[in-house]
Structure 1
Amino acid sequence: MSVPVSVVMPVYNQERYVALAIDSILAQTHRDFELLVVDDGSTDATPQILAGIEDPRLRVLPVPHAGFCRALEAGVNAARGTWIARMDSDDLCHPQRLERQLAFLEEHRECLFLGTAYGLLTPHGRSLKPRVGFTWRYVEPSHITLGPRIFADPSVIFHREAALQVGLYDRDFENENPLWYKLLRIGKGAVLGEPLYFARWLLGSASRQKGAQQHAMHLRVRERYDPNNARRLKPQPAPTPTTRMLYLGTRAVTYYLLAGDRPAARLAARQTLRSCPLSPRAYQMFIQSLLGIAAFRGKGGAEYVPVVGLLW
């Protein structure tokens, strides 16, 4: 039996956060959905955690470990929904996320996908919201290629049949951006300015540590799918591991302090200092973490502010 929307969540060794991510989907005000969790060969306690969750809307699809995009493909192919809502296994979303996104898509039939602005979560669940200067807008290729991203990939709901029509994900890249480019060739995409999705910002995550690989992959995606805008970008060398760690550590300490998560900020500062012991900036961030000082304005003028009390 079909449903209006299938939530597809790939998971790999996410025992710490996966239950929280699932809870935030099961608590949605829009109740008519299926949650398809694709277990990409987890070797920690994730399978046991999934087996212990009892809800008829939850389906668990175990697959051999083959990577992020192949797990997503398996989920989309197995899904019964007209729409696919993405969700990452360590994030949270607003209880009205599905309700609001589906209502928008009902009113804007020209849209094949819809993302939202996104807030940030610290390791301990403290939150930051962006100050966004628009209610909604159409997505242009330049929003994907150039400048700061205005939506998070896992905040997107997209039309399943349209995605299958354009060939779904590009297996050359462990990245969802090619799908958004391809959908823009046959229809429109949009983004809501309200943050209905909260992405957990973890300094030690694998994607944040693979700086050179991530940099090269993003360049290749841009060159293949948006060559005109890609040519406007100044060539930049791939960051060294030390440069990458210093950049990520600075952002992590700042975000965590803004959110009021001082233990996470101190840990991130220590990790950064160990990796960059000759950097004055690393010592500065370490002192800031001890004093609890943070002042930061995000790229493009999007200022992050702490969320006081509950998220919603």
Structure 2
Amino acid sequence: MFDFQIITGGAEMAGNDDAQQPFFSVVMCCNRDEDYIQQAIKSVLAQSFVFFEFIIVLNKCADELYESVAMIKDPRISLFRTEIGQLSFNLNLGVNNAKGKYIVRFDSDDVCHVDRLKETYSLIVKDPTVDIIAGSCRIINASGTVVGLRVIKAQDWRSMIAYSNPFIHPAMAIRRDLILSARGYLGGFQSEDYDLWIRLAKRKDVKCAFTSFPMIDYRVSEFQSKGSRLAYAEVASYFLRELLVEPSFRRLFSLVVSVCKVFLKSKK
């Protein structure tokens, strides 16, 4: 068993038929603050679309970080604290306690566009059967200066998953029941999302919508694990699992590509 604390809970949403059922649950996990988390939280609370809750999971963090976030008194925030410093576990905790129909992923060093939830909702209204909304992003550096743009276009993501991650995880929204049906986030210290996409790609019923709308400002800094040898090694292990369970040339190709990336593309 583990201990966690709930500081505030539930979203007070005037005009919503069921105040206990927000449409979106924004889920953010954090175990350290590089002076970005307050800006990240404010960008979520400032959303133009109001029917959401904000689940923050602080995992194996310093008391100072916990206390600084606990001081933010907003009824939309549900704050949890765990001693397990592993992202998959803490994401699952957030998803498990979420009340929204869609889980909106977000990272504590990024910044939400003020209309992120509004834009996501409009895409769902256009096609209520969509399971995943894959958003684009602006890229910012450590100081917050925009240095680039990554546009996500409509694509055959199931084919692309064989050699590359087609999504920007903190810019996405995913049906909560889809995550639950996939048994949650299962693998990796640094690549838990890639494992989920690999598993979902095998399901023909999963429907994805793509948008060029910049849902977030995605921060690139020296503290990120993206591109690490561990992350690439984890992805290789997922493809080895898939190959052993259901051998095919395509899965062998994916494994070879991912192993090559461990040695040729990863940070030392």
The corresponding residue for 1:216 is 233
Deviations 1:252-288 (A, max 9, x none): xxxxxxxxxxxxxxxxxxxxxxxxxxxxxxxxxxxxx
Choose the corresponding residue for 2:158, options 127, 135, 141. Answer: 141
Give % identity: 25
Q: Which residue of 2 aligns with 1:30?
A: 49
Distance 1:128 1:7 in 2: 26
For 1:173 and 1:74, how far apart are their aligned partners in 2? 15
RMSD over equivalenced CA pairs, Å: 2.6
Which residue of the partner structure matches residue 151 of structure 1?
Answer: 167
Distance in structure 2 (CA, Å) of the matches to 1:28 and 1:117? 17
> Paired residue for 2:185, among 161, 169, 174?
169
Report deviation, 1:230.
Answer: 5.7
In structure 2, the gaps of 5 or more residues are 1-19
- What is the alpha-carbon distance in structure 2 between the residues aligned to residue 3 and residue 225 of structure 1? 36
Is 53-62 or 185-194 further displaced after alignment? 185-194
Residue 210 of structure 2 aligns with which residue? 191
Displacement of 1:225 in angstroms is 5.1
Paired residue for 2:29?
10
The yes-or-no answer on 1:244 pairing with 2:267 is: yes
Which residue type is aligned with residue 50 of structure 2?
Answer: R
Give the whole-Å Cα distance in 1 for the aligned partners of 2:111 and 2:193.
Answer: 19
CA–CA separation in structure 2 for the residues paired with 1:95 and 1:6: 16
Distance 1:237 1:32, change over 3 A: closer
TM-score for both structures, normalised by structure 2? 0.79
- Please report how far the alpha carbon of residue 214 of structure 1 lies from its aligned counterpart in structure 2 after TM superposition: 1.6
Q: 2:84 aligns with which of 52, 65, 74?
A: 65
What are the superposed Cα offsets for residues 135-169 of structure 1, whole Å, 9 maximum, x if unpaired? x525522333334x553111110111121112111
> In structure 1, what is the equivalent of residue 100 of structure 2?
81
The equivalent of 2:11 in structure 1 is none
Aligned residue for 1:231?
Answer: 253
Which protein shows a greater Rg? 1
- In structure 1, what is the equivalent of residue 6 of structure 2? none
Q: Deviations over 1:44-68 (max 9, x none)?
A: 5211211121211111011122311
What count of residue pairs does the alignment treat as equivalent? 239
Contact 1:150 1:191 in 2 (8 A): no
Q: Which runs of 5+ in 1 are unaligned?
A: 246-312
The match for 1:45 is: 64
One-letter amino acid matched to 1:204: F
Equivalent pair of 1:178/1:225 in contact (CA under 8 Å):
no
Is contact 2:30–2:58 with CA below 8 Å preserved after alignment? yes
Aligned amino acid, residue 61 of structure 1: F
**Is the helix fraction higher in 1 or 2?**
1
* SS of aligned partner of 2:32: coil
Partner of 2:12: none
Give 1:42 deviation, angstroms.
Answer: 0.6
Pick from 134, 150, 154: which aligns with 1:115? 134
Distance 1:151 1:119 in 2: 14
Q: TM-score, normalised by structure 1?
A: 0.69
Aligned to 1:203: 222
